Chains A and B, each alone.
Chain A
Amino acid sequence: MDVQLWTYLLVGLSFALYIGIAIWSRASSTKEFYVAGGGVSPLANGMATAADWMSAASFISMAGIIAFSGYDGSVYLMGWTGGYVLLALLLAPYLRKFGKFTVPDFIGDRYYSGVARTVAVICALFVSFTYVAGQMRGVGIVFSRFLEVDINTGVYVGMAIVFFYAVLGGMKGITYTQVAQYCVLIFAFMVPAIFISIELTGNPIPQLGFGSQVSGEDVYLLDKLDGLMTELGFTAYTEGSKSTIDVFFITAALMVGTAGLPHVIVRFFTVPRVRDARISAGYALLFIAILYTTAPAIAVFARTNLMETVNDKSYRDIPAWFNTWENAGLLAWADKNQDGIIQYRPGPVFEESPTYTNQRGESGERTISNPLSANENELYIDRDIMVLANPEIARLPDWVIALVAAGGLAAALSTAAGLLLVISTSVSHDLVKKQIAPDISEHAELWLARGSAVLAVLVAGYFGINPPGFVAAVVALAFGLAAASFFPAIIMGIFYKRMNKEGAIAGMICGLGLSLFYMMRYKLGWIGGPTTPDDWWFGISPEGFGTVGMLVNFIVSIVVSRFTSPPPEHVQDMVEEIRYPRGSGEAMKH
């Protein structure tokens, strides 16, 4: 069997599994649709949270980002795992005790205000939509690369699958498909990693492998990579090039943002008890950590392999995978000095991504029409290649390559479904049931939830096919926005009884507003012309600015609440109530 056939087989089987689960776990009430009936076991919830959390970006792009940024890539590793400590300790148990369906539910009740609820709904919708567009695009890209179909066709197939289990099954269907998707994606991620670790270092555990000596050589892998890189003029792999303050702030924004993402928080509403919420955060991090501790190892393996196989080699002798991915548009070579040999050096070969001409160069390479930069670097590498092409670069069997495709799809679909559910719940529950038409029947609300899920799938699909240019930039910023808006409001809602609606609303608006302004000014360039990193406040990049937004939110909230009246008695009682586990979901009787 060839790769193509293997891919169809594995992807087909995994899709059949997801649809089977969807039919088996249809939701029949709003409680099942919103929070899977609140009866998910903590282990299953941990797995589902891990799949929900790890998106196409975690699976396909993260190892590549780390491979090309070395130590600087640590911000993602620490940022996207450390948030779970905050979730487990500061949010999950209390929100579970609160026992409603959504984050805007909590904000709305805690701050006894429809305005606060609406602000929360807008934040939730904004974060979820920017995120989900990237996921649908991810599905399309995986399809197009492995099955050689059009990206748009891939998006349609992805929409159809998500439609099936998100619309039919709601949270219940999503939870159990996510458990299956987690198994598929982690298996797909680990198999090539283990193979390559054995090949390079003889150690089957990648986490240890990248700290081991290279097989047959008397040198540690990381030292060898540092050597290879500094020799060619790159910064050493284990040294960073970002400033310490920026690394600090980006890590903080990602951590706090993780803890503030509505599609992650809502997963903790699905377990039966407070103690289950605590332990399932632990399981979630355990399942996530398997991938997150392997990714930096893959990054080192892939970067070393790439430099050794490609650099200073003649294009004519290059392995076949190079041509495959060159044809796919993820690699490009511009023979600047006309010697027929690939020179891989620091700096971009050209600005932006390659625009290929229809011609071949002297050595047979695809020529590009971009204006070349003045440096010596001749090789353009798309970072996604580090995971996608890794099995081929390491000459692994065909079925492993096919497995990576199935894993990438699992990662993208599971995250997309979780986000779509947040969107549909926000509309049917937070907006319609809680604000517009409180008298709506259970039956009608369930159908409304399904209807908004359909609508959300269509909108997400539309963005997947016509991605707005700023989506890629904004996904990373979604964390900053979540950090600057939700996180302080929830934390103070639990730990600071005196916090009132005036403080919380003012804080959310100031935090979100300031972060949005900074991002538009320094990232998107929508306000006041082009900027350079030298213009950043305190040297903090837009990715890390969410941390500042969060601090501003805290300060504004506290100051404003001091000058306004304390929250009413029943709200203070509610805060008291959620602090103690007994009787989760209902009033305590003593």
Chain B
Amino acid sequence: MNDKQLKSAYWKTNLRYLALLLVIWFIVSYGFGILLVDPLNEIRLGGFKLGFWFAQQGSIYTFMVLIFVYVILMNRLDKKYNLDEK
């Protein structure tokens, strides 16, 4: 592959990662925390109703995990395509 193809492959993989992570981001916050909150509240997690827990705790933990996963994925991708910073 030449430089241009390499870069375009890098960018496409990046966009795929973004799409995947943002779908999870959306499902956990808007899905579990808002749209599906009532059915999820039927399920208990200790003293929490599950939907309430996602809205006030779980979504925030997920956000953190998503960013750190993204960092690891991208650092690896940068190296693979030799686009990382020296």
Contact = CB atoms under 8 A, between A and B. Distances in A.
Taking residues whose C-beta sits less than 8 angstroms from the other chain, chain B's interface range is: 35 or more
A71 B57 CA distance: 12
Contact of B47 (A78, A81, A93, A223): A223
Interface in B24-76: 25, 29-30, 33-35, 37, 41, 45-49, 52-53, 55-57, 59-61, 63-64, 66-68, 70-71, 74-75
Nearest to A223: B47
A275 B59 contact: no
A293 B60 CA distance: 7
A582 B74 contact: no
B63 A85 contact: yes
B41 A238 contact: yes
Contact of A89 (B21, B52, B56): B21
A278 B74 contact: yes
B16 interface: no
A207 B64 CA distance: 16
Which of B21, B59, B85 has the most A CB atoms < 10 Å from its CB?
B85
A89 B70 CA distance: 7
A331 to B, nearest CB: 26
Which of B22, B25, B29, B47 has the most A CB atoms < 10 Å from its CB?
B47
Which of A74, A84, A212 has the most B CB atoms < 10 Å from its CB?
A74
Which of B10, B55, B70, B74 has the most A CB atoms < 10 Å from its CB?
B55
A220 B41 contact: no
Interface string A561-575: 000000000000000
A582 B70 contact: no
B64 A74 contact: no
Contacts of B71: 88, 275, 278-279, 282
Given A211-B47, A244-B34, A78 B83 contact: no
Nearest to A299: B56
Contacts of B78: 275, 581-582
Interface of B: 3, 7, 10-11, 14, 18, 21-22, 25, 29-30, 33-35, 37, 41, 45-49, 52-53, 55-57, 59-61, 63-64, 66-68, 70-71, 74-75, 78, 83-86
Given A77-B55, A82-B63, A211-B46, 5 more contacts: A78-B33, A82-B59, A85-B66, A211-B45, A275-B78
21 contacts: A71-B56, A74-B55, A77-B59, A81-B63, A82-B29, A85-B25, A88-B71, A211-B48, A213-B47, A222-B47, A247-B34, A251-B29, A274-B85, A278-B71, A282-B67, A285-B64, A576-B7, A580-B11, A582-B84, A582-B86, A584-B85
